[in-house]
Amino acid sequence: VALVGIPMFIGALGFTGAGIAAGSIAAKMMSAAAIANGGGVAAGSTVAVLQSIGAAGFSVGAKIGLTSALSTVGGASG
């Protein structure tokens, strides 16, 4: 559920395949990040990572890591 739900949530914030949606929470985050960095959004920043996930989804490595971590949490809570 998390592997599908998290990217959907990120998309709902305004991080989309077509870029950051105007007027969204993502746009406000990007504006704040750009102001803090003198006009640009730094590579590897939270905004950049969320936009990457919004545009392309999780990488295979991220999916494996999340599956491993979440299965451990699920097993412990079960």
CA separation for the pair 32, 74 (Å, rounded): 36
Number of domains comprising the chain: 2
- Quote the domain boundaries for residue 17: 1-36
Judge whether 42 and 25 are in contact, CB under 8 Å: no
pTM: 0.66
Q: Quick one: 27 and 5 in the same domain?
A: yes
More confident residue, 33 or 6: 33
Three-class SS of residue 23?
Answer: coil
Average the pLDDT over 25-45 and give the result.
92
**pLDDT tens, 37-71?**
898 889 889 999 888 888 887 666 666 666 777 77
SS3 15: strand
For residues 29 and 50, state if they share a domain: no
Residues 52 and 66 in one domain: yes
Q: Is 44 found in the same domain as 23? A: no
Give the pLDDT score at 31: 95
What are the distances in angstroms from CA 46 to CA 31, 52, 77?
Answer: 13, 10, 29
Please check whether residues 53 and 72 belong to one and the same domain.
Answer: yes
